[in-house]
Amino acid sequence: MSVQPAAESFPRFRARTQRFTLGEPRTFTICAGGSRVLFLRAAAGDDARTGLWVIDAADAVERAVVDPTDDGDLTAAERARRERLREGAVGVTSYAADDAGRVVAFAQAGRLCVVAVDTREMRELGAATACFDPRPDPTGRYVAYVEGRALRLVGVDGEGDRVLAGDDAETVSWGRAEFVAAEEMNRFRGFWWAPDGSALLAARVDEAPVSQWWIADPAHPDQPATAVRYPAAGTANADVTLWLVGLDGARREVEWDRARSPYLGRVHWSSGGGPLLAVASRDQHEVRVLEVDVATGGTVERYVDRDPVWVELFDGVPAWHGGSVLRIADVEGVRGLFLGSARLTPDRMYVHSVAGVGDGGPVFTASVGDSTSLGVYRIDPTGVVDVASGAGVHRAVADGGTIVVASAGLDHFGNRTVVHAAGKQIPLDSRAMEPPDVPVPRLLTLGRRALRGGLVLPRGHVAGTKLPVLVDPYGGPHAQRVLSARAAWLEPQWLADQGFAVLVADGRGTPGRDPDWERTIHLDIAGPVLDDQVDALHAAAEIEPDMDLSRVGIRGWSFGGWLAALAVLRRPDVFHVAIAGAPVTDWALYDTFYTERYLGTPQEQPEGYRSCSLLDDAPSLSRPLLLIHGLADDNVVAAHTLRLSQRLTESGRPHSVLPLTGVTHMTPQETVAENLLLLQVDFLNRYLRPQP
């Protein structure tokens, strides 16, 4: 590993290395029955250009397939895909392969590229200029891809390029995931190959019902605003249907009760059985697993999960295993792995996701008694087998008899990636750069609700010296900050070294603990979440007397930004300054799938939306507040910050606004990312450590 240049600030170094992830192996595909693994890796720890690599279990030698390269001009669809994935690298950032791992397809500057893995021969196919999500069929004969709003097919020899499915309507697209699927459901695909390559399942998305918004760039008034279809809470979603499409273009619609279950959450098509769908009701109180009859397009319900609060969608399931359906479900307060109706995991396990279903049985990730750690496990005839566990965060991809495990921990930097194949354990090389210092967090259990938290003090802190406090949460669903991994504590340690006691706490609503803990925030995401940050702060101060509770700041981004603003508006007795980055100030302006899960619709639950909005709290602001927002954000649009700022101004409440021109919900630009941290520290120092 390389080290940080002496003249470079930590924030700049962290931004340039994309949080020290560049150069790590990632995006694994296991092929050829488990004997071959494809993966991506950037050229170096400070070089975002990413290439494609392969390793075969037989010789355990890493070989370059596609050299790291720049992007060229990205299409609008590709930019949107990367935004949904929070992808900051360039070059080959996504790819797909046939089952044998001999043919790989990817898009480069809008062109469809196919490479023969064994010879490295690369060709451009078809006439695509805006290629999106190309995927070879499992047999390696054809490549399906999206061009504009149509799903197309071309032979790997370049012959027969043609439209498989398309519509004349400008609001209709084939083969692409709609906004809420990619942003909130973790479904980024819109088409799926049959296991024998004879047909595809393709999503048809009609955005005509969805409200049209415009995102303008005020710094360039000569340029027109960008039109986006944004399904705000309580408004219409895109109309999503699923079709069986033959290689001759023949179509047959897959039929299910879409009035009852309009959300297409998951699609699985393997040789284990007919295609499986997970479809959800609009209120998300029900998720049904359906099997598709490919001969008729009809569906049969295999399982249904219901909950009066909500039902989760999980990665890797539903799937077939041994002729039965593998799924994750919450039953009697336990999140378990089920095969058919039989639960495979013990009560103490909180199952996160399924990593794959191979010859050795299903492989999954789970926490066992400690939400800060995540282990990899396998089911075999004897029960649950430990693949990689212990303190740390272990994740995996599995297929055939092969498991690729990436492990992070507090005792080392970055991920250590090992391929478990053919009785071997083959480590993959990481080219990631090493941070300059080792973070020293204290992982704590705080307060009467046993909140998991981490406290970081400045290096060299002298006991008895009082420190201003910075509370640094996310605090919301589907994200944990308190993890047994060094990467989680690099930024908090740097902030602490600026002279703060930094506290990170995961309260009610965050994952990793149990389903009831997550559902506590139903219809009230403000009260429990804010109360837990207050309780964690006071409990931590009992453990660390050098925390000065008369000088407490709070900062956050996205949900955490909303939480930071909420804290100074409603608990100014506890929080004395706040920095709110990209905050959701009015939940009626956020999207359907996420917001309605927790708050219902604005029409059904108007009081819940009012109580969780920041707008009516504007007149009560009595503490310094800095609002930060990217003006190109199409997820939490800048209107959130602008509307709160307007209310504050109308109420005569002084505040600060930092608009970021050309910046989206993520901030990958090095100078922006660096200076955002420096400006935040300056703002905190101004109010928490006033100079004479």
The DSSP code for 183 is I
Peptide bond into 134 cis (omega under 30): no
Read off the pLDDT of residues 203-240 as tens digits, 9 standing for 90 and up. 999 999 999 999 999 999 999 999 999 999 999 999 99
Contact 122, 113 (CB under 8 A): yes
* pTM (predicted TM-score): 0.95
Whether the per-residue pLDDT at 546 is higher than 90: the answer is: yes
Average pLDDT, the chain: 95
> Nearest Cα to 101, choosing from 70, 58, 72, 131?
58
Q: What pLDDT is recorded for position 74?
A: 75
Amino acid in the structure at residue 108: Q
Amino acid in the structure at residue 405: V
Read off the pLDDT of residues 74-86 as tens digits, 9 standing for 90 and up. 777 787 777 777 7
For 177, what's the count of Cα atoms within 13 Å in the CB-facing half-sphere? 24
Report the distance separating Cα 221 and Cα 233, nearest Å: 30
* Span 636-662, average pLDDT: 97
Domains of the chain, each with CATH number or no CATH: 442-688 (3.40.50.1820)
Q: What confidence category does residue 5 fall into, taking pLDDT thresholds of 50, 70 and 90?
A: low
Q: What pLDDT is recorded for position 1?
A: 47
Contact 133, 175 (CB under 8 A): yes
Whether the per-residue pLDDT at 91 is higher than 90: the answer is: no
* Span 263-268, average pLDDT: 98
Report the distance separating Cα 176 and Cα 476, nearest Å: 28
* Span 133-138, average pLDDT: 97
How distant, in Å, are the alpha carbons of 17, 89, 349, 372, 495 from that of 482?
22, 26, 18, 6, 16
Read off the pLDDT of residues 659-684 as tens digits, 9 standing for 90 and up. 999 899 987 678 888 899 999 999 99
Report the distance separating Cα 608 and Cα 522, nearest Å: 10
Question: Which single residue is written with the structure tokens 């956050």?
Answer: 556
Report the distance separating Cα 210 and Cα 278, nearest Å: 23
Q: Bridge partners of 146? A: 132, 151
Report the distance separating Cα 230 and Cα 211, nearest Å: 6
The 3-state secondary structure of 65-95 reads: EEEEECCCCCCHHHHHHHHHHCCCCEECCCC
Q: 606: part of which helix (H) or strand (E)? A: helix 606-612
* Span 432-457, average pLDDT: 96
Q: What pLDDT is recorded for position 229?
A: 97
Q: What pLDDT is recorded for position 4?
A: 53
- For the record, the structure tokens of 691 come out as 């100079």
Report the distance separating Cα 209 and Cα 38, nearest Å: 40
Q: What pLDDT is recorded for position 70?
A: 75
- Would you tell me how many other CB atoms lie within 10 Å of the CB of residue 150? 17
Q: What is the per-residue DSSP string for 233-283? A: TTSPPPEEEEEEEETTS-EEE----TTT--EEEEEE--TTSS-EEEEE-TT
In 3-state terms the chain splits into helix, strand, coil percentages (rounded to 5) of 20, 40, 45
How distant, in Å, are the alpha carbons of 82, 274, 381 from that of 133?
11, 24, 38
Amino acid in the structure at residue 224: P
Whether the per-residue pLDDT at 66 is higher than 80: the answer is: yes
Report the distance separating Cα 493 and Cα 413, nearest Å: 14
Residue 75: partners with Cβ closer than 8 Å, 6 or more residues away: 110, 130, 131, 132
Percent of the chain with pLDDT over 70: 98
Contact 597, 284 (CB under 8 A): yes
Read off the pLDDT of residues 380-426 as tens digits, 9 standing for 90 and up. 999 999 999 999 999 999 999 999 999 999 999 999 999 999 999 99
Q: What is the per-residue DSSP string for 297-342? A: --EEEEEEEE-SS-----TT-SEEETTEEEEEEEETTEEEEEETTE
Q: What pLDDT is recorded for position 127?
A: 82
Read off the pLDDT of residues 29-49 as tens digits, 9 standing for 90 and up. 999 999 999 999 999 999 989
How distant, in Å, are the alpha carbons of 439, 467, 498, 547, 552 from that of 461?
13, 9, 11, 12, 18
Q: How would you label 502-541 residue by residue, b for 16+ Cβ within 10 Å and e otherwise?
A: bbbbbbbbbbbbebebbbbbbebbbbbbbebbbbbbebbb
Read off the pLDDT of residues 562-606 as tens digits, 9 standing for 90 and up. 999 999 999 999 999 999 999 999 999 999 999 999 999 999 999
Contact 42, 431 (CB under 8 A): yes
Read off the pLDDT of residues 162-212 as tens digits, 9 standing for 90 and up. 999 999 999 999 999 999 999 999 999 999 999 999 999 999 999 999 999
**Strand 122-125 vs strand 111-116: parallel, antiparallel, or unpaired?**
antiparallel
Whether the per-residue pLDDT at 250 is higher than 90: the answer is: yes
For 91, what's the count of Cα atoms within 13 Å in the CB-facing half-sphere? 17
Question: Which single residue is written with the structure tokens 């930094």?
Answer: 502
